[in-house]
Amino acid sequence: MDFKFNLGGAEEEEEEQNLDGLNFFGGVHHHHDDDLDKLDPTMQTSTISRSKREKSVEPDEEQPDYEAEIVAKCVYDQEKGVLNEYELLDKIGSGSFGKIVRVTRSYYEDDGVTISKSIYVFKILKKSQKIIQITDENGQSQLKKELDLLYQELEIYKYLNNVNICKLYQIIDAPYEQTIYLVMQYCDLGQILNLDEKDQKYYPNTKIDQFIEQTYNISEQDQYKKREKFAKVIFKQVSQGLKYLHDKKIVNRDIKIDNILGKSIECDKGENFKIIDFSTAVKLKSHHQKVFGQAGTPAYQSPEVCTKSNDGYDGKAADIWSLGVTIYCYVNLSLPFLNQPDPQKLFNSILNDPIQFQTHNSALFLDLINNMCRKNPKERLKIDQVLNHQWFQE
């Protein structure tokens, strides 16, 4: 096999990176290299603002029921396109985070006969020693290594075991390598919406629409009603994944369209839609612990995150807001607070403006989104209330 593949991660930059720079809409992570330069820079990465209190703690006191395997060897045969036991197929995504490569792993009988092959993805990340500027719990700036933040993320991610969360199977982290390889589930259907990179607008992912229509027996002639029925399938599952996180005292802080993928192969009904990306996640010490700092993607941020309150905020309530914005976006193919691309005007809109609905949105949809996106976080639905809302039961 004549296969050569550059496994380098994202290019390192020399200068310090200030993470208070804002990306309004969130980036599309699954695209070809040729398309990268066409993306508006504000669409490519989300921002992280970490605090001292947000360091990950050990998982719940009880023994975790799952832990991703950590492998300390990395053997790469460039001619054969094989790393450890994985054969590299093709690159399916890239961005500031690194690269996404589709791989396959063969499983053998004792006599060497291949009995099955499974497809995974590598998420390839540089062990960046770059010092970046973050914000602590008191609103003060401090410096931290990007690598420390990556390991903090993995301390949360490696224990997650839920059908509606993209599973991390293995972490290939050889001490002599400058790259980490995350072996993850392959979600063949991609993001739940596609992005038109020219006009920066979302449009339906026809593969996902066709899959839902056939697999979940959706028969509806009215296109607007059908859109809401598709949304119920997707977001019932996403909400179940978020409930798992909240029950585990984990807040995600970056729920958005780009971080939900669809999978049709090697999974049952109810397991097709999955949350990805835990780079902003926080493991709480108690269900009532506040979180600090501005994290996530501005267009999806709740009012209390926008204002960067010195008193901290309820991370679960912020997740509910972001989930409500995401559901709205999926149904209407637009974000509710996007009238002003200027950051201050966007935040003012989030803080003060009511959500404008489309005439075709159902009454139950309006009720769900309005109650998920209350300006006062104490008035928002909890995740159990979201799952039990009549919109999902209809």
Query: Which H helix or E strand runs over 205?
Result: none
Closest CA to 23 of 279, 357, 373, 365: 279
Q: Distance between CA atoms of 328 and 37, rounded to whole angstroms?
A: 29
Query: Which H helix or E strand runs over 315?
Result: helix 315-332
Closest CA to 382 of 317, 290, 325: 317
Q: Distance between CA atoms of 387 and 239, rounded to whole angstroms?
A: 7
Whole-number pLDDT of residue 93: 87
Whole-number pLDDT of residue 10: 43
Residue 255 in tokens: 């729920």
Q: Distance between CA atoms of 282 and 250, rounded to whole angstroms?
A: 6
Whole-number pLDDT of residue 56: 43
Whole-number pLDDT of residue 303: 96
Closest CA to 319 of 390, 244, 393, 233: 244
Q: pLDDT by residue for the chain (394 residues), tens digit each? A: 344 556 654 443 333 333 333 344 444 333 333 332 333 333 333 332 333 334 444 444 567 889 999 999 999 999 999 999 999 999 998 877 789 999 999 877 776 666 788 999 999 999 988 898 766 544 556 788 889 889 989 999 999 999 999 999 999 999 999 999 999 999 999 999 998 877 878 999 999 999 999 999 999 999 999 999 999 999 999 999 999 999 999 999 999 999 999 999 999 999 999 999 999 999 999 999 999 888 899 999 999 999 877 788 999 999 999 999 999 999 999 999 975 678 889 999 999 999 999 999 999 999 999 999 999 999 999 999 999 999 999 8
How much is the CA Rg of the chain, to the nearest whole Å? Answer: 21
- Binding site, by residue number, is 123
Whole-number pLDDT of residue 294: 84
- 3-state class of 153 per DSSP? helix
- Domain residue ranges of the chain, discontinuous segments joined by +: 17-185, 190-393
Show Cβ contacts of residue 213 under 8 Å, excluding neighbours closer than 6 positions: 226, 230
Q: Within 261-314, where are the H helices?
A: 303-306
Phi-psi region of 312 (alpha: psi -120 to 50; beta: other; left: phi over 0): left
Query: Which H helix or E strand runs over 278?
Result: none
**Which position has the token pair 């075709």?**
360
- Binding site for ATP, by residue number, is 123
Closest CA to 89 of 1, 180, 207, 182: 1
On whether the 190-393 domain is CATH 1.10.10.10, my answer is no
Whole-number pLDDT of residue 25: 47
Whole-number pLDDT of residue 343: 86
Fold of 17-185: Phosphorylase Kinase; domain 1 (3.30.200)
